[in-house]
Amino acid sequence: MTILVTYGSERGGTAGLANMVADGLRAEGFVVTVSPASLAEAPDAYEAVVVGGAVYAMRWHADSRRYVRRHATALRRCPTYLFSSGPLDDSATKKEIPPVKGVVHLMEVTGARRHATFGGRLLPESRGLIAHQMAKKLSGDWRDTNQVREWTAKIAADLRAGGQEQQKAG
């Protein structure tokens, strides 16, 4: 089965998560292509799609939003999964964090089967006024490889079951 993993990432943390998702799916035996959402092709050539986006100020990354809106009809026809990246602490590993309002809407538009929120990453040397100020107090990497691996295993099980598990979270 072929899967597209596409993402919107400002500072590379979400791109790293997309690659972790892809690695997890490859370990499950799937053929995976990874591409930034701004460059990703239409999902028509794939049998499943995963779209990830960094969350800034309670909004999903613009490139991810645009990709989903542009390809909503095609995404409704194949198994689609969404993930968000954002909390700059370990909260995403301690409890399920629901998607932000805009992502909830995109899940409805696409019929997405699952969503997960993973911890984010902010480097101490981050540029940009807001990121630089935040990095003084909140720099770190809260992406959890095991959490991503568990989520991709759920996707793999769902795909192998022919999409019988129509869960919206986790």
What CATH number did the domain enclosing 21 receive? Answer: 3.40.50.360
- Whether residue 32 lies inside any domain: the answer is yes
C-alpha–C-alpha distance, residues 104 and 26, integer Å: 27
Considering its fold, how many domains does the chain have in total?
1
Find the helix or strand (DSSP H, E) in which 42 lies. Answer: none
Domain around 39: 2-160
What distance lies between CA 74 and its chain's CA centroid? Answer: 18
The reported pLDDT for the residue numbered 136 is 53
The reported pLDDT for the residue numbered 73 is 97
Report the alpha-carbon angle 120-143-125, nearest 5: 55
| pLDDT class of 142 with cuts at 50, 70, 90 | low
For residue range 87-106, list pLDDT tens digits in order.
Answer: 767 888 899 999 999 999 99
For residue range 39-66, list pLDDT tens digits in order.
Answer: 999 999 999 999 999 998 899 999 999 9
